[in-house]
Amino acid sequence: MAHTRRNYDTQPYWEGCDQRELRIARCADCHTWIHFPRGVCPNCWSDDVRHEAVAGDGQVVTFSRPRVPDGAPPMVTALVALDAADGVRVLGRLEGAEPDAIRVGMPVSLDWHEEDGQLVPQFVPSGGAPA
């Protein structure tokens, strides 16, 4: 919790995470999705920005495998384009995938993990992890 700096613009996003719900900012006037969350619509300049819960299915746009300490499990950081929110991409860990089987474009689904007491989004391969 201490490391999750929230501010007035990002608080609705974090409140969603607290309830395992991915809430993305959206313009109430022109319906443009806005991520990262911000208080002005970049398309029509409306101030009426609200957060909507979205399904977390999507596709891998790109990914990398950062070096981890000896003995630690491999880590994959993936950028995921959400199917349900046009133009929205979420950066998160990709868990449960065979590292060599990860491909750009592969379908993934939303999952959650806890870090420093804060629930944060991560992704898993759609349809379950390969054997």
Q: Binding residues for another protein, per CB under 8 A?
A: 3-11, 13, 35-36, 38-40, 42-43, 45, 47, 61-67, 75-79, 89, 91-93, 104, 113, 115, 118, 120, 122
Name beta bridge partners: 116.
Answer: none
Min. distance of Cβ 49 from another protein in angstroms?
Answer: 9
- Per the CB < 8 A criterion, the answer to whether 91 and 82 are in contact is no
Min. distance of Cβ 23 from another protein in angstroms?
Answer: 12
Nearer to another protein, 28 or 36 (CB): 36
Min. distance of Cβ 71 from another protein in angstroms?
Answer: 16
Alpha carbons 22 and 52: distance in angstroms, whole number? 8
Nearer to another protein, 67 or 71 (CB): 67
Nearer to another protein, 39 or 55 (CB): 39
3-state secondary structure of 15: helix
3-state secondary structure of 101: helix
Answer positive or negative: Cα dihedral of 70, 80, 1, 119: negative
